[in-house]
Amino acid sequence: MSFALGVEASLGGQPWRWRRPQDGEVTGDALVDELLLARGVERTDLARHRQPTIRDFLPDPSAFRDMDKAAARLADAVERGEQIAIFGDYDVDGATSSALLVLLLRRLGVDPVAYIPDRMTEGYGPNAAALLALKARGAQLVVTVDCGAQAFEALEAAHQAGLDVLVIDHHQCASALPLCHALVNPNRLDEDQLGAAHGHVAAVGMAFLLGVALIRELRRRGRFAVTPEPRLLDLLDLVALGTVADVAKLHSLNRAFVAQGLKVMAGSQNIGLAALAGAARLTKAPSCRDLGFALGPRINAGGRVGRSDLGVRLLTTACPDEARTLAAELDRLNEERRAIEQVVLDEAMAQAEQQAGASVILASAPLWHPGVIGIVAGRLKERFGRPAIVVALGEDGSSKGSGRSISAVDLGAAVLAAKDSGLLLAGGGHAMAAGLTVAAGGVEPLREYLNDRLARDVEQARAGRALLIDTICAPRGVSAGLCDALDTGGPYGAGWPSPRVASGPARLLKVGVVGNGHVRGLACGEDGASFKWIAFRAADTPLGQALLAASGEHRLWLAGSVKRDDWNGGDKAEMHLDDAAVA
């Protein structure tokens, strides 16, 4: 594979390569096709991927093990008027999964209870005390969403108490499965080929598929002969939000979920989401980026530093006044979360700087807030380009940890193996993220285990590291029109990366530091055109320092994503810079 634009070592210290070999500048429909092909779409399948729809990508829910069994039990509960409880995780995927099932069941004439455990006092996933308390309150069926695949003791207690539990999850499973009425999870080790092919689907996507199976089962039983059938597609806004916020890969079905969910969200059907968009000061229909960086963090803030059920309450309320109140509270909590996060990040970054040679970064300290350690782990992963785990040491001897990984390094499997080896009290997750509980004195043994187990995978992943370029254009081509063309290949996110454009040669003018360590400037091309660019949080990185030192005489290639700059009603474009190289 040749170096893109001849760049073997950029200002950021990495080679540039074509995501897909290029002969030169590509425009129009051909550009969209090239973007799709570069993301793994077969040429014969381009038409389906240009405008991804649910009809074209939705699998038969019966392809998943236990799905029909779960749908039948849930249909029984609906027809009998049983008390149903939805037990969800405290993150966005859990909140949206819970809200989707609550809203669907309400439209079927059932009023379920939504239960979200407290992150600080209960921790992740079902616990026996909560399940038994739900039974004591009258629950006859519990549906866990985004959790439950590893809840052996809690589900055993529920079974012994005569409480039926349906587990709807997507986290990695062990070879043994917990005792429950049905466990639907594409990452079951015994899953069939078609089900396993959807292992990237978030829990909210699996909840949607359960909804499809439930509606189909009730239709078969004649439920809708005299009552209207709920429109599941109206709930795709929740599916889109949970999918993006959980950083699920936007391949195939997930991409259709998000593409169609954004259309539903633009109609502001969910008054809670509309109120949250207002609190986030979004002035137009949310984009995929808004889901990940504006709406998702605010929903998450409830579970991180506030009350864990605030997100579900917001997403399921029918009262506009309550929606505005809850959205304002989540916005406030998000600001509080940011302040807490910055303190933990500064301290964790100082530890990480001392681990430059490690395969896995592991930072730990007492008094760190467990609600922000996952975000901080993600920051460390981005900064050092390797898996990172952040552990909040507890006063009782046990400690909570959260990890984020890099592409081609399966952190979830490593954490499960550490648990099976007796190094963890609890742990699980998926390839890119994991949560864990460490016993007193267990941090250093865990560090040694993970560094030994993952060293080869990390080395191979980093050896193949390169900045992938999709297309090139002259500075005059960095325009609103290019943004429109690139957007046609979206939505973009995890596993379906935003197109990276290289432009130049250009000289840099008005380079300086703005905001929280961002480097901003103006690029002036030989074609007489110019565009603005910004490198976020780059001031103290090798790239940022090189940009600040570059004089107007240097000619550079700039590479990054091109975004519409509509500030003050303008219609231009700017580049969000990832890297630069000498031309």
- Cβ partners under 8 Å of residue 288, min gap 6: 244, 258, 262, 490, 491, 492, 493
Distance between CA atoms of 226 and 209, rounded to whole angstroms? 24
Tell me the pTM: 0.88
- For the ranges 138-147, 228-237, 314-323, 365-374, the lowest mean pLDDT is seen at 365-374
- Residue ranges of domains in the chain, CATH in brackets: 4-43+470-582 (2.40.50.110), 65-332 (3.90.1640.30), 354-463 (3.10.310.30)
Q: How does DSSP classify residue 291?
A: I
The answer to whether 487 touches 520, Cβ cutoff 8 Å, is no
Contact, 432 vs 199, CB < 8 A? no
Q: Is the pLDDT of residue 395 over 90?
A: no
- pLDDT tens per residue across span 267-293: 999 999 999 999 999 999 999 999 999
161/43 Cα distance (integer angstroms): 55
Position 567 scores a pLDDT of 66
How do residues 105-163 score in pLDDT, each as one tens digit?
Answer: 999 999 999 999 998 888 889 999 999 999 999 999 999 999 999 999 999 999 999 99
The whole-angstrom separation of Cα 48 and Cα 59 is: 15
**468 has which bridge partners?**
17
Q: Is residue 569's pLDDT more than 70?
A: no
The span from the CA of 153 to the CA of 166, in Å, is: 15
Segment 39-51 shows an average pLDDT of: 93
Share of the chain above pLDDT 90, in %: 85
Convert 92-129 to b/e letters by CB count within 10 Å (16 or more is b). bbbbbbbbbbbbbbebbebebebbbbebeeebbbbbbe
Compute how many other C-beta atoms are within 10 angstroms of the C-beta atom of residue 153.
12
Phi, psi (5° rounding) for residue 236? Answer: -70, -20
Helix axes 92-107, 236-245, angle to 10 degrees: 170
DSSP bridge partners of 166: 143, 182
- Strand partners for 430: 433
Q: What pLDDT score was predicted for residue 391?
A: 97
Euclidean distance between CA atoms 366 and 369, whole angstroms:
9
Residue 1 pLDDT > 60, yes or no? no
Mean pLDDT of the chain: 94
Among 299, 255, 305, residue whose Cα is nearest residue 277: 299
